[in-house]
Structure 1
Amino acid sequence: MKDYTIRRGVDYQIYESEPTTFYAKCTHYGKGCDWLIRITKMQKKYYWEIRRYNGSHTCTRSTISQDHSKLDSKTVAEAIKPLVEVDPSLKVKSVIAEVQSKFNYTISYRKAWLAKQKAIESIFGGYELYEALPIWFEAMCHKEPLAVVHFETMPAYQGDDLVHDIRVLHRVFWSYYPCIRAFRHCKPIVQVDETHLYEKYKGRLSAIAQSNGAWSPLIAFHMFCIRHIESNFLRKFKAPYLQKLIVNIGYLRTIWEYQMRYKRLKEWGMAYTNWLDRIPREQYALAFDGGYRWGHMTTNLVECINFVLKGARNLPVTALVKATFYSLNELFTRKRAEAEARINAGHVFSEMLTYANNSATVVNSKLTEFRVDIRVAKGRPKMTRFLNEMDTRMLRGPRRCKQCGVEGHNRNRCRQRGSPSAGAPGE
């Protein structure tokens, strides 16, 4: 009835709404419209029966409204449930567009936001259901005994009074066994970044406020992301023309190169190098890192966390954990299938080579079906080894064009060569 009313652009007023009776009239009843309806629940037959109905509305709206009183957030929530279930990060403006498409009404931003929250709670549970989290982890560990879960809680207070027998969730750490097992095959480097949570949560994932000495040598070596240093530098000095120089100083692999760029930065101003000197060189410069950062200058690897949690960061905490579990479970299954396929392909190829050694004449006619295309890039092959102080010729600065004075090309490749401004021959 509500859907019918919304689509017809009419409205009604409820006069009676009881567990067994519903009675409503048109808002213009007695003023040009006689629409009314009375419905009674038949207890023994377990259905509702229309006892009185005056037919269709005969009223017309004097003004066209962009919204409808019966198009409440609960109705909208039911309409957008399939969309939210597929993508919990659905934007509010997309909810408004969906309602416009389905009902031909433009609802307010607040109504759309409330509808999305109700849809999320209906599908994934409420934000306050923290007690479900330990139950989920217990069930998960029962199926995955080698997973690691660690809870930390805090005492609960009501005002200044301690509430006994109640603890508040502070934080939780969990790791799945495939991740733990695979780590032994990875580089001995851990990248830490923070992933901000949305909606009611204002916390973060993967953030460490204090190291408590855990990053001290020789146990571990603490390094900084050069992109974050660059960002902090720009925030401090508002000097975008030095942005590339700051990054290059971190990426340079030799002390000689580092000193040259550092000197150039100092020429721009002592304040810049004084700021940089507050950071230990071994924590941001490859030339001094001792090889402990394995060539990784940024924390880009942890962007995969945002990818895994895409669409889940605005969910209640238990649903968020479930989303990571199912997403990683699908990832592990797919990677295992890919690895097995490669192993099987390698086994077949190995057998084919054994066959080639014993039957060269036959292979020459059969192997034409199998071809490996090796594409060579144009131009001079790029050097892959790291330069040091002995490579003074290679470490010199970029060449300048004698025609226009710009770096990166010579006179023969200059675009200004032969132009009228370059001068005519013999001049």
Structure 2
Amino acid sequence: MSAEVSFVADGEFAVRMEFSSREAVIKAMKEYTLRRSVDYRVYELEPLTFYAKCTQYGSGCDWLIRVSMISRKHCWVIRRYNGSHTCTRATISQDHSKLDSNTIAEAIKPLVEANLSLKVKSVISEVQSKFNYTVSYRKAWLAKQKSIEKIFGGWEESYEALPIWFEAMCHKEPSTVVHFETMPTYQGDDLVTDIRVLHRVFWSYYPCIRAFRPCKSIVQVDGTHLYGKYKGCLLVAVSQDGNNNIVPIAFAIVEGETSDAWHFFFSNLRQHVVTRDGVGLISDRHESINAAVERSHRAWSPPRAFHMFCIRHIESNFLRKFKAPYLQKLVVNIGYSQTVREYELCYQRLRERSEAYTNWLNRIPREQYALAFDGGYRWGHMTTNLVECINSVLKGARNLPITALVKATFYRLNELFTQKRAEAEARINNEVFEVCEMPSGVEYAVDLRGQRCDCGEFQVDRIPCRHVFACCANQRLDWQVYVHDIYKMD
């Protein structure tokens, strides 16, 4: 709003006040109305005129306003104004008809930009604080969706932009993997030619593919629902490196957790990312995942891969079946048993409670849920917690238009890899430490690069001393690097 005549002291309008557009007039009217807890009704809304009266006009309140477009000045001007309202609303804490979702969306934009996971309850609280009205859950939810659309663009336009963004990404980094599946469009029963819509998309950035090479031979997979305007599922695969860092390696957006969708994901994951054999695949016991593994032409079956289940999902399935929460811990302990003896002891304790429990457990091959029989392919991982961590990181992004969601995976991974690179370089460059022995308090200087320690053992024996071990443990370094070749088996 650019007003030639300013608001008077009490915030009222004035005749000859100018506005840059009709939208600016309406916005100012809404703000005025909400601030005073009054209401108005539009009697004329033409391309060149805006005319409104108080809803109590003729019943004790004479408030009205007429604003017209002045072509020669290229602005809207108040031509008639009867002064302030002489009525008030009895209840100002309830919702207001002029406090629509568009007004709220504009007001909460800074909050949404700062926190994509902003809860609808927080939107309601913000409206209460800012406007002194309590809006409905639906209006607040709709306002958040509109705010997201204002920031990140529309949902339909986002689908159209996705192939363009991926094309630019692949041009910049040709080793990035992107695979689309589309489906035909129908208008009624008639096929619309030359138009296809997105069905599924799989992608993996090259740094993720490369980062998987030195990772443990495990892959955890899980799906999580999208809750924007258009539904669907985000499928994610993660691994873990030797420093226990979580490494996301692949993503897909699909129609849902169907057998076909998981087959699409697993096929691309096997072809482009997880190309080595002897990999442990950990997932929940979703029927669609099992079906996709079975139809993978043994790509995810022994000896190329070993499909195992998350013990927490087995625990949850057990509880749903038997309603026996006091046995949950025992079921988990059976899975975590590291030796056959330990497994049999826990198994027998469960069987003593009821053979129905062990009969149910026997339907699951024990190599798929117990450490004692997994052949070492789990690397000690009993749950899908790694991938659930990534799902929580992307929680706010799952509410975004599709291109914004995909961009979020790129920028957050870029931030992660940049951070880990800096940490690694810091460890490489910082190879001189002070180690304090307790309880004596004696300090020793350790130079890993120069292979020297104040205690003398490191440089004399060419074997890491206890102070070197302390440095390696603190910095997550491989102590074997500092053992002289003469002591190695080769």
Q: What amino acid maps onto 1:303 in structure 2?
A: E
Secondary structure of 1:151's counterpart equals strand
Q: Does 1:291 align with 2:376?
A: yes
The alignment-based identity, stated in percent, is: 77
Offset from partner CA, 1:109-142 (integer Å, 9 cap, x none): 2221221121111112223331111111112222
Q: Does 1:149 align with 2:149?
A: no
Secondary structure of 1:340's counterpart equals helix
CA contact (8 A) 1:308 1:324 kept: no
Match of 1:124 in 2: 152
Q: What amino acid maps onto 2:430 in structure 1?
A: A
CA contact (8 A) 1:191 1:299 kept: yes
Q: What amino acid maps onto 1:95 in structure 2?
A: V
Q: What amino acid maps onto 2:33 in structure 1?
A: T
Structure 1: how far apart are the matches of 2:212 and 2:448?
Answer: 34
Gaps of 5+ in 1: 361-370, 375-427
Match of 2:461 in 1: none
Match of 2:82 in 1: 54
Structure 2: how far apart are the matches of 1:291 and 1:41?
Answer: 78
Offset from partner CA, 1:267-326 (integer Å, 9 cap, x none): 222211211111112111111111111221111111232133131111121111111111
The partner residue of 2:108 within 80, 105, 121 is 80
The partner residue of 1:304 within 389, 392, 399 is 389
Q: Does 1:19 align with 2:47?
A: yes
TM-score, length-scaled by structure 1: 0.78
Q: What amino acid maps onto 1:310 in structure 2?
A: K
Match of 1:322 in 2: 407
Offset from partner CA, 1:199-245 (integer Å, 9 cap, x none): 43442222533122321111111111111111111111112222122
Q: Does 1:237 align with 2:322?
A: yes
Structure 1: how far apart are the matches of 2:356 and 2:452?
Answer: 69
Residue 7 to residue 372, structure 1, CA distance change in 2 (3 Å): farther
Structure 2: how far apart are the matches of 1:238 and 1:192?
Answer: 27
The partner residue of 1:96 within 124, 142, 149 is 124
CA contact (8 A) 2:431 2:449 kept: no
Q: Which has the larger radius of gyration?
A: 1
- Runs of 4+ with >4 A deviation: 62-65, 347-358, 371-374
Structure 1: how far apart are the matches of 2:325 and 2:137?
Answer: 38
Structure 2: how far apart are the matches of 1:42 and 1:153?
Answer: 51
Structure 1: how far apart are the matches of 2:69 and 2:338?
Answer: 81
Structure 2: how far apart are the matches of 1:296 and 1:356?
Answer: 37
- Count of residue pairs the alignment pairs up: 364
- What are the within-5 Å matches in structure 2 for residues 154-303 of structure 1? 154-206=183-235, 208=262, 209=288, 210-211=292-293, 212-213=295-296, 214-303=299-388
Match of 1:346 in 2: 431
Offset from partner CA, 1:26-84 (integer Å, 9 cap, x none): 22233332222222222232222222222222223356561222111111111111111
Q: What amino acid maps onto 2:44 in structure 1?
A: E
Structure 1: how far apart are the matches of 2:387 and 2:105?
Answer: 34
Q: What amino acid maps onto 1:138 in structure 2?
A: E
Offset from partner CA, 1:4-32 (integer Å, 9 cap, x none): 11101122222222222212222223333
Deviates more, 1:36-45 or 1:308-317: 36-45
Residue 303 to residue 259, structure 1, CA distance change in 2 (3 Å): same
Q: Does 1:140 align with 2:169?
A: yes
Residue 353 to residue 298, structure 1, CA distance change in 2 (3 Å): closer
TM-superposed CA distance for 1:190, in Å, is 0.7
CA contact (8 A) 1:42 1:49 kept: yes
| Bigger proportion of residues as strand | 2
Q: What amino acid maps onto 1:198 in structure 2?
A: Y
Deviates more, 1:34-43 or 1:90-99: 34-43
Residue 260 to residue 350, structure 1, CA distance change in 2 (3 Å): closer
Residue 55 to residue 229, structure 1, CA distance change in 2 (3 Å): same
Residue 61 to residue 295, structure 1, CA distance change in 2 (3 Å): closer
Structure 1: how far apart are the matches of 2:448 and 2:312?
Answer: 49
Match of 1:331 in 2: 416
TM-superposed CA distance for 1:187, in Å, is 0.6
Structure 2: how far apart are the matches of 1:258 and 1:305?
Answer: 31
TM-superposed CA distance for 1:182, in Å, is 0.8
TM-score, length-scaled by structure 2: 0.69
TM-superposed CA distance for 1:372, in Å, is 11
Structure 2: how far apart are the matches of 1:19 and 1:260?
Answer: 83
Secondary structure of 1:156's counterpart equals strand
TM-superposed CA distance for 1:186, in Å, is 0.3
CA contact (8 A) 2:176 2:204 kept: yes
Q: CA RMSD in A?
A: 2.7
Q: What amino acid maps onto 1:31 in structure 2?
A: S
Residue 357 to residue 253, structure 1, CA distance change in 2 (3 Å): closer
CA contact (8 A) 1:201 1:314 kept: no
Residue 372 to residue 105, structure 1, CA distance change in 2 (3 Å): farther
Offset from partner CA, 1:318-359 (integer Å, 9 cap, x none): 11111111111122222222222222212799869759789x
